[in-house]
């Protein structure tokens, strides 16, 4: 029985996926295929290479926003993600999908073609950085003759790309939208609007999962709340442990 796991985008909220992974491991769930968008692609790539959830959390906790992003000096975006690229290269020095122990698919949006691109071979760091490049905020990534931005625009929970590669599919979504919202400022409203737009394609993907894990009220954490990494991790871990058990998942073979 091959089990697939799809991890959504969500900025710092994606740290919840690490808690979900730790809980799944404790239940004896073994992942055979994995996919990720944006923040989910970071967690998925490190896990696919062989890092344990606690090790991934340690790496993410060390990755401060100041160190991970740098001025891009470009009209296309304010910042670039050199620090993220360095994180991938440090932990996965081969920088290639072939070096991974678990088959991985990373999603980015081809801004020229207006369609999702699914990477499963070649330059891993470029694929992950492409998937994480939030439009306007981060500089688009020029790679393989195309220009890429955040994969969440078109496929925030990438289950279709691995659906035929596994027998049982789990989706981990960290962008559940609460009904309570306080429009404090312009930034707050833009972030909320983007979440609502992305959530439309996420709901369709959730319906394809055998099990969907989605901690509620995650929008209480901002996209760049990396400083709350341990708290976000605990939310993902505790929610999964409290609402699921080994009976929810088949035995892996």
Q: Which residues contact 50 (CB under 8 A, 6 or more apart)?
A: 101
Q: What is the 3 state secondary structure string of 160-214?
A: CCCHHHCCEEEEECCCCCCCCCCCCCHHHHHHHHHHHHHHHHHHHHHCCCCEEEC
| Annotation marks residue 38 as catalytic | yes
Say how far apart CA 107 and CA 36 lie, in whole Å. Answer: 7
Tell me which residue of 190, 161, 183 sits closest to 44, measured CA to CA. Answer: 161
Selected catalytic residue, list 8, 32, 41, 150: 150
Selected catalytic residue, list 8, 32, 35, 38: 38
Q: Which residues contact 65 (CB under 8 A, 6 or more apart)?
A: 224, 226, 227
Distance of alpha carbon 153 from its chain centroid, rounded?
Answer: 13
Q: Which residues contact 211 (CB under 8 A, 6 or more apart)?
A: 168, 169, 170, 171, 244, 248, 249
The C-alpha angle 149, 155, 161, rounded to 5 degrees, equals: 115
Tell me which residue of 39, 41, 87, 46 sits closest to 64, measured CA to CA. Answer: 87
The DSSP secondary structure of 85-132, one letter per residue, reads HHHHHHH-TT-BGGG-SSEEEEEEEETTTTEEEEE-SSBHHHHHHHHH
| Annotation marks residue 64 as catalytic | no
Instruction: Enumerate the active-site residues.
Output: 38, 150
């Amino acid at each position: 029985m091959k089990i697939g796991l799809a991890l959504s985008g969500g900025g710092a909220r994606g740290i919840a996926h690490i808690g979900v992974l730790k809980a799944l491991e404790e239940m004896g769930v073994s992942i055979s295929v994995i996919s990720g968008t944006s923040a989910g692609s970071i967690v998925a790539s490190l896990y696919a290479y062989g890092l344990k959830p606690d090790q991934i959390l340690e790496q993410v906790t060390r990755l401060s926003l100041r160190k991970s992003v740098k001025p891009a000096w470009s009209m296309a975006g304010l910042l670039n993600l050199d620090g993220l690229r360095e994180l991938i290269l440090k932990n996965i020095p081969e920088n290639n999908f072939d070096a991974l122990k678990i088959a991985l698919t990373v999603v980015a949006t081809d801004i020229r073609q207006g369609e999702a691109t699914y990477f499963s071979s070649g330059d891993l760091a470029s694929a992950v950085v492409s998937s994480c490049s939030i439009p306007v905020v981060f500089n688009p990534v020029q790679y393989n003759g195309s220009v890429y931005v955040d994969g969440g625009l078109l496929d925030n929970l990438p289950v279709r790309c691995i659906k035929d590669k596994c027998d049982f599919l789990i989706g981990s979504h960290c962008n559940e939208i609460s009904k309570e919202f306080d429009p404090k400022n312009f930034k707050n409203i833009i972030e909320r609007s983007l979440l609502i737009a992305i959530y439309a394609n996420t709901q369709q993907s959730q319906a394809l999962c055998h099990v969907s894990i989605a901690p509620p009220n995650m929008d209480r954490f901002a996209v760049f709340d990396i400083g709350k990494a341990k708290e976000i991790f605990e939310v993902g871990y505790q929610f999964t442990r409290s609402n699921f058990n080994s009976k929810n998942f088949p035995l892996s073979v």
